Amino acid sequence: GSELGRLFVTFLWEYGRVFNPRFHAVSVFNHAEESDFIYAGAKYRQMFVGDPLAIIDPFTPTNNIGRTCYGIGQIQSAFDQALSRIEGFTATPSNGRSHDSKHTGQQNRHDSKHA
């Protein structure tokens, strides 16, 4: 369960905040020789300069199935917003407290400032 959640959060982070459709491509090919999926996908991106998004067709690698996806910015924004909501319910590195707990002193102080 937690591993699936971790994969989902990583997906939202990579495609909502890191992925740049002008420089990167989406590919399902095995990039075992590459440790960074962004770098591995960037090798394909140069094949489709001018397309708003490069998604490499796994059956025909010279075909870009994302060539008409002009809403990629909206999709990335939705991923980023989803990740922000998830981050709102997880512990912060600075104090280790959960944002969703209504019983923390920090949360109560925050609420009293806005009352």
Q: Are 31 and 37 in contact (CB under 8 A)?
A: yes
State mean pLDDT over 34-56. 78
Give the pLDDT confidence score for residue 55 in this predicted structure.
Answer: 93
Helices 2-13 & 72-87, crossing angle to 10 degrees?
130
Give the pLDDT confidence score for residue 33 in this predicted structure.
Answer: 55
State mean pLDDT over 38-53. 80
Q: Is 84 helix (H, G, I), strand (E, B) or coil?
A: helix
Look at 2 and 40; give whichever has higher pLDDT.
2
* Residue 43: C-alpha distances to residues 39, 47, 48 (Å): 7, 8, 10
The structural domains of the chain, with segments of one domain joined by +, span 2-110
- pLDDT tens digits along 14-36: 999 999 999 889 888 765 555 56
